[in-house]
Amino acid sequence: MRYSALRVIKEALTGHKGWTPAWRDVAPQAHYDYIVIGGGGHGLATAYYLARDHGAKKVAVLEKGWIGGGNVGRNTTIIRSNYLLDGNEPFYEHSLKLWEGLEQDLNYNAMVSQRGILNLIHSDAQRDAFTRRGNAMILNGADADLLSTQTIQKRYPFINVDNARFPIKGGLAQHRGGTVRHDAVAWGYARAADQLGVDIIQNCEVTGFRIQGGTCLGVETSRGYIAGGKIAACVAGSSGRLMSKAGMRLPIESHVLQAFVSEGLKPVLPGVITFGAGHFYCSQSDKGGLVFGGDIDGYNSYAQRGNLPVVEDVCEGAMAIFPMLGRVRLLRMWGGIMDMSMDGSPIIDRTHIDGLYFNGGWCYGGFKATPASGWCYAHLLARDTPHEFAKAYRFDRFEKGQMIDEKGVGNNPQLH
Amino acid sequence: MIINHPLLGPRDSAEFTYMGDAKLIDRPDWQAPEALAQFIDYGYMRDNPDGAHRELWYHEQGDRSFLVVTRDTTTHEIFAVELARDVARSRGQSR
């Protein structure tokens, strides 16, 4: 069924009896050419691009719970492509371009809103760094705009630019950045993939891999054994857990990251704003809640909840730049588990086991990467060569000294 | 989280800095023939288990001792806290 305004009107007049489920509920078949493990944004996008662009016929997405129930449902919905390094920027810019055409591609309203993102500058050194980053973005075909304090004050009169400790000295804006309705991304990709014949199998947890002679033949699941030509792990957040079943250790630690939503407010915050001195960023959802977050808690965790010191730290960051938020009440907070890689950049690569592929290590930047991650992973799966934009995301970059660390601080599993 | 420091008693985890897997105590010998592979493993690869995890916490806002904390990564429950010095010595290291 194709969604359109006409369809909505027709259904409204006929008692909404014509709507059908957005994707089929199917039982697993005995064999697939491609098995994508993980029905999140990245996994569903991978399946969609496999079917659409690479002519893959027998594709399954296995999800242990319900699709979109992991990190694609737990993030702060920001899209942007403001990276510095050549290994990253073309990839994220490709992602942003895919976001721009996503709703037409999928025939699904994902509420892509390019309301802009502003990174605040608090010191001369930071201005130098952000100017450099802006130039790198422009060289890679993205947009970047260095704003003066006066412009910021004019556009965002509620920002405290005269904070005694962290005065605001300007900002780097990417006007094409913004937010997307995160759940709709999973649902839109699922529906579009399903229409291309992809089997989306929920409540199907992978419990093991069948590996013989260095080749992965299939997966053991809670719904029985499923044989597969190529097995694609795509479970960022649970990568350590899943890949240990294949006997693999990863250059990744799992950490908990908290996010927050305030009570609903009338429109007060245009765009996404990030604090450059602490770690705090904020946007306002279409429902009116302020959506914000900060740093990871900082210790290994698979528990989807964090602790209070980080809550305090994030709220202090909020108060430093938005004193107007002082009386806003917090509605909800939650934690999600991040694959924190050793250089803050992801991995999309083959593993040492034939037929087993890996996509993970997204730290806390995976949401914005969803379309390009699926695009590049599908390319790798179908052609066995890395996509041009993802060729730096290799497993062996650590031992070869080719880390992609945006901050240039060396290996540390707490970067992003 | 409350970390029960062996010398100081229960302390708020916010006083500590997390330093990662306790295997970092076992720094490879740089002269060993396999040193390169060992250091790649030491620097980058992690077990990252769900469940009991032995990890280093540095009491930065306290007595500056390193602790080895055994903690469940799925519940944050702490099972044991030892001085990293004692752990290192028990493995034959000088300090």
A223 near A60, Cβ under 8 Å?
no
What pLDDT band is residue A175 in, cutting at 50, 70 and 90? very high
Beta carbons of B55 and A254 less than 8 Å apart: no
CATH of the domain spanning A22-81+83-108+182-251+343-397: 3.50.50.60
Domains, chain B, ranges and CATH? 2-90 (3.30.2270.10)
Helix (H) or strand (E) holding A186: helix A182-195
User: Is the pLDDT at A306 greater than 80, yes or no?
Assistant: yes
Identify each DSSP E strand in A276-398 by its residue range. Answer: 280-284, 289-300, 330-341, 347-350, 356-360
A277 near A322, Cβ under 8 Å?
no
Q: Domain A117-177+253-341: give its CATH architecture.
A: 2-Layer Sandwich (3.30)
Longest Cα separation, chain A: 65
- Give the pLDDT confidence of A377-416 residue by residue, as tens digits: 999 999 999 999 999 999 999 999 999 999 888 888 888 7
Ramachandran quadrant class, A55 (left: phi over 0; alpha: psi -120 to 50; beta: rest): left
Whole-complex ipTM: 0.95
Could you state, in order of their start, the residue ranges of all structural domains in chain A?
22-81+83-108+182-251+343-397, 117-177+253-341
State the pLDDT at residue A120: 97
Residues in A touching B18 (Cβ below 8 Å) = 298-299
User: Is the pLDDT at A163 greater than 90, yes or no?
Assistant: no
- Give the pLDDT confidence of A204-219 residue by residue, as tens digits: 999 999 999 999 999 9
Beta carbons of A240 and B14 less than 8 Å apart: no
Could you give the percent of chain A with pLDDT greater than 70?
Answer: 100
A309 in B contact zone (CB under 8 Å) = yes
Nearest to B53 among A300, A342, A411 (CB): A300
- Give the pLDDT confidence of A73-105 residue by residue, as tens digits: 999 999 999 999 999 999 999 999 999 999 999
Q: What is the mean pLDDT of residues A345-361?
A: 97
Which of B2, B3, B48, B60 is the best substitution to test chain A (most A C-beta atoms within 10 A)?
B48
Beta carbons of A303 and B48 less than 8 Å apart: no
A235 near A360, Cβ under 8 Å?
yes
Task: Name the CA dihedral angle for B73, A364, A357, B21, rounded to a multiple of 10 degrees.
Answer: -40
CB pairs under 8 A between A and B: 66
